[in-house]
Structure 1
Amino acid sequence: MSKVKKYPIGDDDAFDLANMVREGVPYPYFTRLSTQINFGFEEWSSYLHLSERTIQRYKKEKKSFDPIYSEKILQIELLYKKGIDVFGVADNFYTWMDTKSIALGGVKPKDMLDTSFGITLIYDELGRIEHGVFA
């Protein structure tokens, strides 16, 4: 069993990320991340396409998440790390995630976390913001 890295991870740790996806994100890691970015079971359920009951079962059984869910968890973690870096203050980024974005088709960025394509679009928009390129 490999050593579990502490939050936050970096996107430059590609091999570690790939291994963590294969092994599955351990539930305690998921709990720390949820606390850090203030997501509850309802939000995770929507983003991972899992029922809240299934997520609670991972906790009860002390299981690591399956690779398909682990990958999405880590993608969201990396996105939040990037967003906080771009905005400088976590609360500013969280506010942006909850505000409808013209550049993202009038949708709240947070509402796009349920697909990898949505996460990529948000990541790209953060890159534009970081470099001062708007809409």
Structure 2
Amino acid sequence: MSKPNIMTSSTATMTSKLNKEISSIVKHSSFDRKNIAFKNSITYADFLSNKMLMILVIREGVPYSLFNLIQHFTPFSEDSWAKILDISSKTLERYKQTGKRFKSIQSEKIIEMAEVTHVGLDVFGSMDKFKLWLETPNYALGSLKPIELLNDSYGKDLVISELTRINYGILV
């Protein structure tokens, strides 16, 4: 069961910015291109479907410029991001001021939240509906709010699995 692709102008603008940023990161990266297959001009969607490319970006560290775009594209507040990344709001502000790359552990979390958002938008078709789902207790997830599970990888996997079940009409 596939949902209609509802893309508002702000979503289209943000996607365009993400496409440019991902393409620039890949173009200026130091990873060995012969070990992974990708085209010269890569999109954000291509990036999120290429696990090897995600691993390489995580290892190099997500630059603040990419995080900033992902942060604005996701339904998470700055406080939520600080909690997800297990850093203080002040540390997050320092990353912003210096523009430096995030450590691998934080980069992985950033990419994971980008994945969750990508799947959530595919399932619900709008950020508002997806955000409402994230903040509503879910019986299939032990009556927890899905957003409460996003602080670790196993929780993220549970949330994505539930989103996939919803997408296929399998309701618990």
Question: TM-score, with normalisation over the residues of structure 1?
Answer: 0.90
- Cα RMSD over matched residues? 1.8
Does the alignment pair 1:85 with 2:122? yes
Of 59, 78, 87 in structure 2, the residue corresponding to residue 22 of structure 1 is 59
1:94: which partner in 2?
131
1:4: which partner in 2?
25
CA distance in 1, matches of 2:123, 2:171: 14
CA distance in 2, matches of 1:54, 1:8: 29
Superposed CA deviations along residues 87-132 of structure 1, whole A, max 9, x for unmatched, are: 1222211111111101111111111111111100001101111111
SS in 1 for 2:131: helix
CA distance in 2, matches of 1:89, 1:69: 26
Question: TM-score, with normalisation over the residues of structure 2?
Answer: 0.72
CA distance in 2, matches of 1:77, 1:61: 22
CA distance in 2, matches of 1:46, 1:76: 12
Ranges of 4+ aligned residues in structure 1 off by more than 6 Å: none
Tell me which amino acid in the other structure corresponds to 1:56.
Answer: E
Cα distance 1:38–1:128, how it changes in 2: closer, same or farther (>3 A)? closer
Structure 1: unaligned runs, 5 residues or longer? none
